[in-house]
Each structure stands twice: as C-alpha cells, then as structure tokens.
C-alpha cells in the first residue's frame, strides 16, 4: 500500500526532479545578486538565467504559496531558489530576479 501524499510533496517532487537534471546548488538572494550556499560564490543578475519556474498555490492557505526557480549561471552552476509567492515574497529576491532573463516556463 502506498503512503498518502502530503501537501508539501508536489514541491519536493519538483525539487527532486530538478536535482536529477543537474540543479544541485541552492541559492539565496543577497543584496545585488545570488549566493550559492554550497560554495559561497556570488553571482550578479547579468550572470544568471532562469531556465524554468514552478508555482505552487495553496488552495486554502496563503502560506502554501511558493515559487521555485531553476537557475543556471553563465559559468555553468545550476541550482534552485525557492521563494514565497505573492504578498509573502522576499523583496530582495524580487529585486535580483527582475533583471534576469527567463528562458523557460513550467507550471507545477
């Protein structure tokens, strides 16, 4: 018998699939760019591409809204950045990503 699905599993499945596709780094927004958590390397918006993004909208709870970005740097580093979606989004993340080209779109 299969385990029942939990609310967070769709996001986890997308993150697992992105990791299988080589998006293994995790990013966080910092003033003016992104930082790779594994290496500490920093990237300016001009050095980034959004290869795809996945939006998750909670049906009854606004806290369930998130967006996951599949990001590739011009130097070949591939990773993921997850942010809240809507009014709960991080303004630092929004400021960094507004100038980053989007080369793919996906919905989850």
Q: Dump pLDDT digits (tens) for 73-92.
A: 999 999 999 999 878 889 99
Closest CA to 32 of 46, 52, 19: 46
Determine the average pLDDT of the residues in 7-11: 64
53, 70 contact by CB (below 8 A) = yes
41 vs 11, more confident: 41
Residue spans per domain, the chain: 9-97
Between the alpha carbon of residue 24 and those of residues 18, 34, 38, 39, 106, the distances in Å are 8, 15, 9, 12, 18
Question: What pLDDT, on the 0 to 100 scale, is given for residue 52?
Answer: 93
Q: Residue 47's pLDDT band (boundaries 50, 70, 90)? A: very high
Our CA angle for 79, 80, 84, nearest 5°, is 165
């Amino acid at each position: 018998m299969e385990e029942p699905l939990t609310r967070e599993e769709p996001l986890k499945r997308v993150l697992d699939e992105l990791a299988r596709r080589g998006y293994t780094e995790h990013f966080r927004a910092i003033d003016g760019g992104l930082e790779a958590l594994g290496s500490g390397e920093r990237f300016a918006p001009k050095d980034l591409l959004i290869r795809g993004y996945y939006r998750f909208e909670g049906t009854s709870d606004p806290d369930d809204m998130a967006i996951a970005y599949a990001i590739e740097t011009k130097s070949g580093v591939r990773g993921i950045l997850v942010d809240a979606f809507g009014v709960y989004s991080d303004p630092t993340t929004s400021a960094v990503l507004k100038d980053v080209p989007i080369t793919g779109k996906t919905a989850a």
